[in-house]
Amino acid sequence: MRRRVVITGLGLVTPIGQDSKSFWQGLMSGKSGAGPITRFDPTHYPTRIAAEIKDFRPEDHMDKKEVKRMDLFAQFGMAAARQAIRHASLSVTHELGERMGVMVGTGSGGLNLIQREHGRVLQEDPRRLSPYLASAMLANMASGEIAIATGARGPSAAVVTACATGSSCIGEAMRMIQYGTADIMLAGGTEAPITPLGLAAFSRIRALSRQNEDPRRASRPFDRSRDGFVAGEGAGVIVLEELEHARKRGVPILAELIGYGASTDAYHITSPLPDGGGAVQAMKLALQDAQLTAADIDYINAHGTGTPLNDRIEVMAVKRVFGQRVDQIPISSIKSMTGHLLGAAGAVEMIASVLALQEGWIPPTINWEEADEGCTLDFVPNHPRRQSTRIIMSNSFGFGGHNASLIVKKWEE
């Protein structure tokens, strides 16, 4: 028998809030984290906006030695992980550490250090290269650093599935607990892609919005005038725990994770299958895993990036799965507020889903004004909605054709 998996802790760092309370307030107020890029001069870029995190102080979450050896993506991940541990009232003993693992991934890895140190190699003496680069740039290093800091000696890895990374890590961590490999997992995603190289790369494939004059309205999932996503940064980490283990600790249970589905389009490196087949498969597998039908889902936290093609195909996939009932299910994209956090997006959106279950509100899709052909669903436009939900599906779809769907349930004794 598979063991039940519950969520006992939440931690995040986002452009609209650096803890779960401020993040939720940001969602409920329709706050946009987008603005002009301040980290470097974007004058010569077609896109000059992003959803940056302001006033992040890594020293508030780790000592200076740790800060020095980590890229920004790992610093975000560490901050979110330590928040989640505190929220779960988790004290890691030597014995517990052997049954605790970490699964925190990233889509891009250490872009900040790579760019900075590459410039140093070209312009200065290569012998002045940072000794931390070789380790700090690696995609697994957020998981590695978190494991070192917490004493988690169970399974540690970083599943990398581009924009589906956060959801994939949570789903695979759930499996670790279900089948007895671990009792506790820190799971999620982290990303720090707002660099000259990162911005140029996504601009080159025309994935980014170019609505530079009004950045707060640039992220427009499912709206007719959408023209790409707004790059964001941050991290989300949750504490997953085997049910009886959590009960013995006597901690509050926030929600139960009950379903996970994963698939691959096997079609194109950036474009989804034209009929949405890969997304359909992931959603159906998640429903099957949770032993539910489409009629059981109360709300869908959409991938909803704001790119013309992906939004249209995502809507097509949702319609294929939910059939005639699709018009009765609210579906919203918090990327309209946070921007697209890439490898961290799915984890932050899972946290939003847990908070929606607890608070009895559905976050909105801001900046939605006009329906596009083929994108006609209840997108909870512009204002949060008071609505009690019991079961939520959260979807993530990434470059390379990676699809992940998670289902979370309101905790009921």
CA atoms of 62 and 43, how far apart (whole Å):
34
Residue type, position 188, single letter: G
CA atoms of 158 and 223, how far apart (whole Å):
34
Q: What SS3 class is residue 102? A: strand
- Per DSSP, the residues of 200-221 read HHHHHTT-B---TTSGGGT--T
Active site (annotated) includes residue 375? no
CB 141 within 8 A of CB 71: yes
Q: What SS3 class is residue 78? A: helix
* Helices and strands: H and E segment counts in the chain: 14, 14
CA atoms of 131 and 133, how far apart (whole Å):
6
Compute CA distances 307 → 157, 167, 225, whole Å. 30, 20, 10
CA atoms of 109 and 190, how far apart (whole Å):
9
CB 67 within 8 A of CB 58: yes
CA atoms of 248 and 241, how far apart (whole Å):
11
Q: Dihedral sign, CA of 238, 26, 70, 203?
A: positive
| Other beta carbons less than 10 A from residue 16's beta carbon | 26
User: Annotated catalytic residue: which of 90, 160, 163, 350?
Assistant: 163
Q: Interior CA angle at 42 toward 214 and 397, to 5°?
A: 70
CB 106 within 8 A of CB 73: yes
Residue type, position 44, single letter: H
Residue type, position 84, single letter: A
Which residue has 């994770």 as its token pair?
257
97 token code pair = 């550490």
Q: Which residues are catalytic?
A: 163
